[in-house]
């Protein structure tokens, strides 16, 4: 019995050991696989979040499946034929030069062109890709960081809000990068982010960044945007920014926004 038990224990040990020995490709992180390419292009695909579709060059992103959204690129449809819009995958190309990432390009849908000069990582986890992209957005040079923000915002099951807020409040980042982070924060799907944007709007300092936060709030769903804009229109210390909040309310067709404006117009 003791011999049999020892044999079973040995077998279980060997099975466990073999299961913990990952293949080199799996053990290697996505970042290290990309860093291994000093010069050239690295490409990968991952799942797109709900509401994102594309034709390989241009893409469209809607909020929660609604009509409000944003386009990237031009849709060259004719009068008689509609463009197809494929729900993913997101296609990312990382341009590497001298061991550094110089550019991150993003596409949705379509097919890769035959290109033996690119290192193709194939399909990767959207969460893994999103994590790497957000690191690039937060720490990378401006040009690839912009591309990383776009790609991360299109990735399925990735919530970039916390990273976007850090970038927006990071004085070491360029003004353009901070504004881009605020704009994308306003586009985050599925999360209430108005409180974060609200905090930026009320922070003393850069007026243009605060104006960007107001505009980003105005693009949020009405139940989120209207109360926040009304609050800012009534209480922001900066007169110019209060005016920006009122203008955002005027562009909103929600009855609550219109009722607030009518009340203000009727106030002596």
- When pLDDT is cut at 50, 70 and 90, the band that residue 267 belongs to is low
**Average pLDDT score, the chain:** 81
Same domain, 153 and 168: no
Decide: 165 and 196 in contact? Cβ < 8 Å.
yes
Q: C-alpha distances in angstroms, 180 versus 24, 41, 72, 177, 209? A: 37, 25, 15, 5, 10
Domain of residue 166, residue span? 159-268
- When pLDDT is cut at 50, 70 and 90, the band that residue 133 belongs to is very high
Same domain, 221 and 179: yes
Distance between CA atoms of residues 129 and 42, nearest Å? 13
Residue 263: count other Cβ atoms within 10 Å of its Cβ: 9
- When pLDDT is cut at 50, 70 and 90, the band that residue 193 belongs to is confident
Q: Does residue 2 belong to any structural domain of this protein? A: no
Same domain, 141 and 153: yes
Same domain, 103 and 213: no
Give the long-range contacts of residues 197-202, CB within 8 A, separation 24 or more.
Answer: 197/228, 198/228, 198/231, 198/232, 200/165, 200/168, 200/169, 201/232, 201/236, 201/241, 202/232, 202/236
What is the average pLDDT across 180-199?
Answer: 77
pLDDT in the model for residue 85: 85
Residue 26 or residue 88, greater confidence: 88
Same domain, 205 and 173: yes
* Per-residue pLDDT at 45 exceeds 60: yes
Same domain, 174 and 127: no
Same domain, 33 and 153: yes
Query: For the CA atoms of the chain, what is the radius of gyration?
Result: 24
Phi-psi sector, 263: left (phi>0), alpha (psi -120 to 50), beta: alpha
What is the average pLDDT across 133-153?
Answer: 93
Same domain, 177 and 117: no
Same domain, 154 and 166: no
Distance between CA atoms of residues 236 and 222, nearest Å? 20
Domain boundary among 126, 142, 158: 158
Domain boundary among 106, 134, 158: 158
- When pLDDT is cut at 50, 70 and 90, the band that residue 239 belongs to is very high
Same domain, 194 and 256: yes
* Per-residue pLDDT at 189 exceeds 70: no
Same domain, 127 and 219: no
pLDDT in the model for residue 82: 63
Q: Does residue 17 belong to any structural domain of this protein? A: no
Q: Which helix (H) or strand (E) holds 216?
A: helix 207-218
32: exposed, middle or buried (Cβ count in 10 Å: 0-12, 13-18, 19+): exposed
Residue 43 or residue 203, greater confidence: 43
Same domain, 163 and 150: no
* Per-residue pLDDT at 25 exceeds 70: no
Q: What is the pTM of this model?
A: 0.74
Q: Does residue 172 belong to any structural domain of this protein? A: yes
Domain boundary among 158, 184, 199: 158
Q: Which residues pair with 94 in a beta bridge?
A: 42, 104
**For the chain, what is the domain count?**
2
Q: Dump pLDDT digits (tens) for 58-112.
A: 887 765 544 444 556 555 555 565 667 889 999 999 999 999 999 999 999 999 9
DSSP 49-93: PTTEEESSS-EEEESTTSS-EEEES-----SS-PPP-B---EEEE
Q: Which residues pair with 62 in a beta bridge?
A: 69
């Amino acid at each position: 019995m003791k011999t049999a038990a020892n044999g079973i224990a040995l077998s279980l040990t060997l099975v466990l050991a073999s299961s913990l020995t990952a293949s080199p490709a799996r053990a290697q992180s996505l970042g290290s696989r990309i860093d291994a390419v000093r010069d050239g292009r690295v490409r990968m695909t991952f799942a797109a979040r709900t509401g994102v579709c594309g034709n390989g060059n241009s893409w469209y992103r809607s909020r929660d499946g609604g009509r409000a959204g944003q386009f990237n690129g031009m849709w060259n449809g004719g009068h008689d034929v509609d463009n197809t819009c494929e729900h993913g995958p997101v296609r990312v190309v990382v341009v590497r030069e001298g061991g550094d990432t110089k550019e991150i390009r993003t596409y949705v849908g379509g097919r890769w062109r035959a290109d033996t000069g690119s290192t193709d990582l194939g399909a990767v986890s959207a969460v893994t890709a999103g994590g790497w992209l957000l690191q690039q957005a937060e720490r990378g040079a401006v040009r690839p960081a912009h591309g990383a923000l776009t790609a991360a915002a299109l990735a399925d099951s990735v919530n970039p809000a916390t990273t976007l807020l850090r970038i927006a409040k990071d004085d070491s980042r360029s003004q353009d990068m901070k504004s881009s982070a605020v704009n994308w924060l306003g586009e985050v799907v599925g999360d209430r982010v108005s409180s974060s944007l609200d905090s930026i709007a009320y922070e003393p300092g850069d007026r243009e960044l605060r104006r960007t936060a107001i505009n980003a709030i105005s693009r949020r769903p009405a139940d989120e945007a209207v109360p926040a804009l009304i609050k800012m229109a009534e209480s922001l210390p900066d007169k110019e920014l209060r005016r920006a909040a009122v203008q955002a309310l005027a562009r909103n067709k929600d009855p609550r926004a219109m009722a607030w404006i009518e009340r203000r117009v009727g106030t002596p």
